[in-house]
Structure 1
């Protein structure tokens, strides 16, 4: 199979699948390049309210395709950083569904997601020390924010792999599921995510990611917002709310500040690498 990022949308959830089975879903340069515009399209699609990133088969992502590092390691790292930052800036909830190896660039992508669910047997590693690569400052800060400085140093200094149970204990993973239960739990959790207020989620995402200068921005959007009116009414009427605010809606520019896009991804497809 040609290396590619396949994608589809179902029930307001966009799913992006890393597919490179010959190399345990390692990311090629073309795959790194393809991810930011793919995410931008989903960000601007009001029909998408959450995004899942996963790998084909029994592996999440074994990192970057090392053959792409031989020509220009600096360029390869630049591409990986751009993809990571695009994922971190995605204005809607993101979830990494991890099976098998989540290593190197794969761990970068998982850490850039808002939530991480793993199946028992998953292995995690941050491995630049095996290649003599300087891990980017932004990626290091993101890792520290998840696991703390001591564990981040352990992972970066040793480049050793840790299992899902240890990843859960460090905060790198939010939940660990028994074998065969991951897809069910991902479906359950994304149903919850898409049912909640995107206004709340988008503001909370910025605040928890350190955008403390945006209080006035979000206060302005919250004032008289229909989601607030609907949420209170639903609570008083003892029914499920029907939230409609979207970062992609006219008059509600994306909180990520991305430039305008001419369109969004189709409901299903693939981007070859």
Structure 2
């Protein structure tokens, strides 16, 4: 089967699946190129409130397809960087569901998600030093924000893989699930995310990602929204809230 990115939307959750099982879901140039427009479409879909990124079968993503580097390593890096930035800029909550190897370009994609849940036995590695590649500045800063400068240097200098225990301890993943429990936990948690205020989530994502110049914008959005009144009413009435705010211009 040809390498591809599959996706489906169910119960407000979009699931994007990296599919290249013959090469442990390594990303080809075509796959890197197709990710940003796919994300744009899902971001604009008002039915989507959460995005999950995962890999087909027992592997998340083993990185870039090395054969693609023989033509132009610079072009491959550019495509991977554009895909990573598109994922990081996705305006709704994103979660990487990781099994097996999450290495190289796979680790870039996982780090670009807001959250990472992993199944026991998964392994993580940032491996440009094995290939003589300069890791992009934006990717390095993103990794530093997750795990700190010391662990970033450990990962980048050595290219060594770390297990889920160390990944959880250093902040590379948020939850580690026993074998067979990852899908259940992801479904449970994304239901929670989809039920929360998209207004709160969108503002929090911008602020957490370093946008400190938009206080006035989000205050205006809050004033024009019914989400606060609905949240308070639902709390007092002991019922689930029905939040209605959605990203402006996206449905």
Q: Does 1:93 align with 2:93?
A: yes
| Structure ranking higher on relative contact order (CA contacts 8 Å, 6+ apart) | 1
Three-state SS of the structure 2 residue aligned to 1:6 is strand
Q: CA deviation at 1:183?
A: 0.2
Q: Deviation per CA, 1:130-150, whole angstroms, max 9, x where unpaired?
A: 000000000000000000000
* Equivalence for 1:157: 157
* Equivalence for 2:5: 5
Q: CA deviation at 1:253?
A: 3.5
Q: CA deviation at 1:163?
A: 0.2
For 1:95 and 1:109, locate their aligned partners in 2 and report how far apart those are by CA, in whole Å: 10
* RMSD, matched Cα: 1.0
Runs of 4+ in 1 over 6 A off after TM superposition: none
* Equivalence for 1:52: 52
TM alignment of 1:1-273, pairs within 5 A: 1-247=1-247, 252-253=248-249
Structure 1 gaps of 5+ residues are 255-263, 265-273
For 1:21 and 1:118, locate their aligned partners in 2 and report how far apart those are by CA, in whole Å: 19
For 1:47 and 1:134, locate their aligned partners in 2 and report how far apart those are by CA, in whole Å: 39
Three-state SS of the structure 2 residue aligned to 1:148 is helix
Q: CA deviation at 1:168?
A: 0.2
For 1:183 and 1:235, locate their aligned partners in 2 and report how far apart those are by CA, in whole Å: 30
Three-state SS of the structure 2 residue aligned to 1:2 is coil
Q: CA deviation at 1:224?
A: 3.6
For 1:170 and 1:91, locate their aligned partners in 2 and report how far apart those are by CA, in whole Å: 26
For 1:166 and 1:187, locate their aligned partners in 2 and report how far apart those are by CA, in whole Å: 25
For 1:29 and 1:135, locate their aligned partners in 2 and report how far apart those are by CA, in whole Å: 18
